[in-house]
Amino acid sequence: MTTQPVIPVIIDADPGVDDFLAIAMAVANSHLDLVGVTTVGGNASLEDTTANALKTLHAFGADDIEVARGAESGLTRPFVYARDFHGPGGLSMGLPLPTRSLASTDAGEWLATQLSDAPKPVTLLPIGPLTNIALLLESYPDITSSIREMIVMGGAVDGPGNRTEFAEFNTWNDPEAAERVFKSGIPITLIGLDVCNLVTFAPPDVESSQTPCGEMMRAWFKTHPDREVFQLCDPLAVAVAIDPSIVEIDVTGVSLDCSNDETRGNTYRDSNGPLLSVATHVDAVRARRLIAELVL
């Protein structure tokens, strides 16, 4: 029997209900070593997403994992939150806030230090607007060699968006940041709505779960009686870090619409754009099973 090497990962998140599940997966899976969590505004304000990151780690007995606070606004515009979807404070149920400190430096400096000091290149899992990563690359342009790869939840290359007809929420909230990150030359796998929409939980999946994620899902379905399924967007990015074979990849040029038009935030195929590994198909049964085994 072979032992899989442990992959050091840092999650950059805007918790968020699906971020809650994604962080839970990284804590639970022994193949990933969660080095820390950096926070960004997005689903809710930075104040809320940072508190939610602390609450999330606490819920899974991981108070030892550092949390560094990042950007409260996009590069050119304030974030627009998604409180109707995730809950007024970004989560669908109340959770205790642990009494512990944040990292003493902000997300950019914290990331630069962690990445530089890491014994081997780290995988970044950005699952919110890409503002923190864009700012990191601006301040520390040489840091790219310390990043093994990025598995990004964002975009909707071959299909419609969810924030607008054209754009997925994360790329819509800070397309200028996403464009900088996509052009960085760091190997990027893009987990967009094309595949995320196919990997879901329905109420029967979570009705008997005794875990915090099961409880969170039930609370979410209770506040969204019109929804038949919950799309496992951020968890799918973590699932791909654990088992890349659950998605099929197309390496293609991708560009971003940074205009102020209705198409702002659109990700689209463009032979002149930077080459990204875009997930175009997913084995939804295996992906869902992998996620469920870790969180339910």
Pairing of strands 230-231, 200-201: antiparallel
CB of 142 to Ca ion, least distance (A): 28
CB of 15 to Ca ion, least distance (A): 7
Cβ contacts of residue 9 below 8 Å, gap of 6+?
A: 26, 32, 33, 34, 35, 122, 123, 124, 125, 241
Q: Which stretch binds Ca ion (CB under 5 A): 16-24, 172-180, 185-193, 263-271?
A: 16-24
CA 155 to chain centre: 12
Contact 228, 280 (CB under 8 A): no
CB of 132 to Ca ion, least distance (A): 12
Contact 72, 80 (CB under 8 A): no
> How far apart, in whole angstroms, are the C-alpha atoms of residue 50 and residue 41?
8
CB of 35 to Ca ion, least distance (A): 18
Q: Which stretch binds Ca ion (CB under 5 A): 2-10, 30-38, 64-72, 226-234?
A: 226-234
Number of residues binding to Ca ion, judged by CB under 5 A: 6
Residue 164 DSSP SS3 = coil
By C-beta, is 27 or 252 nearer to Ca ion?
A: 27
CB of 5 to Ca ion, least distance (A): 27
Of 10, 11, 12, 16, the residue at the interface with Ca ion (CB under 5 A) is 16
For position 128 contacting Ca ion by CB under 5 A, the verdict is yes
Token pair in block for residue 18: 């699906």
CB of 207 to Ca ion, least distance (A): 25
> How far apart, in whole angstroms, are the C-alpha atoms of residue 137 and residue 157?
24
Of 7, 11, 19, 178, the residue at the interface with Ca ion (CB under 5 A) is 19
Q: Return the amino acid letter for 181.
A: V
For position 127 contacting Ca ion by CB under 5 A, the verdict is yes
For position 40 contacting Ca ion by CB under 5 A, the verdict is no
By C-beta, is 252 or 267 nearer to Ca ion?
A: 267
DSSP letter assigned to residue 282: E
Place of tokens 């899992």: 125
Q: Which stretch binds Ca ion (CB under 5 A): 133-141, 228-236, 260-268, 281-289?
A: 228-236
By C-beta, is 173 or 252 nearer to Ca ion?
A: 173
Per-residue exposure over 16-50, b if at least 16 CB sit within 10 Å of its own CB, e if not: bbbbbbbbbbbbbbeebebbbbbbbbbbbbbebbb
For position 212 contacting Ca ion by CB under 5 A, the verdict is no
CA 9 to chain centre: 12
Q: Which stretch binds Ca ion (CB under 5 A): 108-116, 119-127, 156-164, 258-266?
A: 119-127
Q: Which stretch binds Ca ion (CB under 5 A): 72-80, 178-186, 211-219, 230-238?
A: 230-238
In the complex, the residues that contact Ca ion under the rule CB under 5 A are: 14, 16, 19, 127-128, 234
